[in-house]
Amino acid sequence: MNGMVARGRDEAREQLGLFVHLVRWFILGALSGALAGLSSWVFLEGLSRVTHFREDGRQWLVYLLPLAGLAMGATYHYVGGRSGEGNNLLLDEIHAPTAWVPRRMAPLILVGTWVSHLFGASVGREGTALQMSGSLTDGLSRLIRLSAADRRVMLIASMAGGFGAVFGVPVAGAVFAMEVQSIGRMRFEAIVPALTASIVGDRVLRGLGYKHGVFAQLTPHLTPWLLLRIAAAGLLFGLVGAAYSALAHGIKTLMARRVSWAPLRPFIGGFAIIALVLLFGHDYQGLSLPLIGQALNGDHLGFAVFALKLVFTAVTLGTGFVGGEVTPLFMMGATLGSALALPFGVDGQLIAAVGFCAVFAGASNTPIACAILGVELFGGGAFVPIAIGCVVAYIFSGHRGIYLSQRLNTAKLGHETDGMVRLGDWRHQRGASSGQGDS
């Protein structure tokens, strides 16, 4: 009898401890989410204004892009410190905390991304949201003196809050943050603060009056033949994600080798973007939201559209401009899907939605988050084809990715790994062993 009473007391204490733990991480996650939502609102409101300013008869601003790149590059070079490592810094600090995320990262990436969009660079917005949220949340962790282990969890929560808020996908935001840091492993210890931060960040942003775009809710009739064609398209989406990662990192490596003074790299890149604009027009600057809208509405676009966006964005970010990569990847996937609709005999809206999610799944190695993102944006009826597209794209993107600081916990295709190695380091080691350089 006494033994049963003692066990009951132990269980009660354990449950109380779990409740306290839950409440603590709920509060910390909510604080991180509030910072993410507020900073994302400031960023997105400013982004909308600078984009409208440029598009309202001021496309000539692109001719000042080299000077803007030079100023931005010099600022990061002389003032930025570790801020220039961007999202990779956040991932490295999650895995092996060494120093606080610089507080200057938030204002630098905010202003830098506004400048990139104002002068017509082809960049996105997720990198800005993640870095602002990460910098602000780590500042909070420093203020309240969290341990290194707790700080790692808070950084995951900050990524969830930033992603969930900026795209309006709170569940996908939480899963993305837990999935992106390692290929083959999810950090479920962060599930409570990550989900809390993502939901709070999204609600704060919406509460401040920001309205995300609304997409058509899809309810396709599923047949084995349709799903087989979606899987075939997923292979192509994965290859595009890998091609973008390879080109962007290859340009960055080439510029680092050939141009020793870092601020000169975006200066050169600005001239390259001007040349591309003169050749192919203004449609591929900024987020290219009109082209995404056309693809998701079922319009047929040619194969050149996604390829040009890939080149524009790889040149922009590879030469040192700052901003995100996710929205350009969404655009590449949606427009490639649009181009595949006729030859594959698939509804244009459906395959564009699959591509929208799948190219990013391949480029970021986050198939689960991207499948959930598809549900939040396009409805549960499209879950099966979007999930198939994301998983196939993830497999066929190989061991490339936009985040070189991802850890390779379990390699794809049966390759062995030596522990939790960085994706960029693993690719370099394999390239050296086979006599090939990393790109």
Highest mean pLDDT among 298-302, 404-408, 427-431: 298-302
pTM: 0.93
What are the structure tokens assigned to 433, written together?
A: 């062993």
* DSSP one-letter string for 31-45: HHHHHHHHHHHHHHH
Instruction: State the pLDDT confidence band at 98, using cuts at 50, 70 and 90.
Output: confident
Identify the pLDDT of residue 423: 74
Per-residue tokens: 133: 């949220």
| pLDDT of res. 200 | 98
* Alpha-helical segments (H) within 119-261: 126-143, 148-167, 170-180, 191-207, 224-258
Residue 384 has what pLDDT? 98
Whose tokens are 């204002």? That residue is: 107
E strand or H helix at 341 = helix 326-344
Bridge partners, 407 (sequence order): 182, 422
Q: Is the pLDDT of residue 436 over 50?
A: no
Question: Hey, what are 57's tokens?
Answer: 């008869």
Q: How is residue 13 written in tokens?
A: 């204490």
**Stretch (H or E) spanning 113:** helix 105-118
CA separation for the pair 3, 76 (Å, rounded):
64
Which of 89-98, 157-166, 181-190, 230-239 is the least confident region? 181-190
- Give the residue extent of every domain in the chain: 11-207, 224-407
Phi, psi values for residue 289, rounded to 5°? -60, -35
31, 34, 35, 36 alpha-carbon torsion, rounded to 10°: 120
pLDDT on residue 439 = 28
User: Average of pLDDT values for 288-317?
Assistant: 97
pLDDT, greater one: 17 or 156: 156
Q: What is the pLDDT of residue 426?
A: 52
Lowest-pLDDT range, 166-180, 198-212, 253-267, 407-421?
407-421
Residue type, 220: P
Q: What is the pLDDT of residues 34-85, one digit of tens each?
A: 999 999 999 999 999 999 999 999 999 999 999 999 999 999 999 999 999 9
Torsion (CA) 193, 194, 198, 200 in degrees, nearest 10: 0
Strands ordered across the beta sheet of 182-183: 182-183, 407-408, 421-422
Q: Which CATH class, in words, describes the domain spanning 11-207?
A: mainly alpha
Question: 286: closest CA among 106, 411, 125?
Answer: 125
φ/ψ of 363, rounded to 5, equals: -75, -30
DSSP secondary-structure letter at 419? S
Indicate the CATH number of 224-407 among 3.20.20.100, 1.10.150.530, 2.30.30.30, 1.10.3080.10: 1.10.3080.10
| Cα separations in angstroms, 173 against 107, 200, 372 | 22, 11, 9
Cα 256 to chain center, whole Å?
Answer: 23
> Among 302-316, 375-389, 407-421, whose mean pLDDT is lowest?
407-421
* Cα–Cα distance for residue pair 111/128, rounded to 1 Å: 10
Q: Judge whether 205 and 40 are in contact, CB under 8 Å.
A: yes
Measuring CA to CA, which residue among 296, 386, 372, 389 is closest to residue 334?
A: 296
The pLDDT value given to residue 183: 86
Query: Which CA distances in Å does 5 have to 9, 15, 19?
Result: 6, 15, 21
Residue 427 pLDDT exceeds 60: no
Residue 338 has pLDDT above 60, yes or no: yes
Handedness of CA 50, 34, 376, 190 (dihedral sign): positive
pLDDT given for residue 434 in this prediction: 41
Cβ–Cβ contacts within 10 Å for residue 220, how many? 19
Would you say the CATH fold of 224-407 matches that of 11-207?
yes
Q: 203 in helix, strand or coil?
A: helix
What is the residue-averaged pLDDT of the chain?
A: 92
Residues whose CB falls within 8 Å of the CB of residue 361, separated by 6 or more in sequence, listed in order: 237, 238, 241, 367, 369, 370, 371, 389, 390, 391, 393, 394, 397
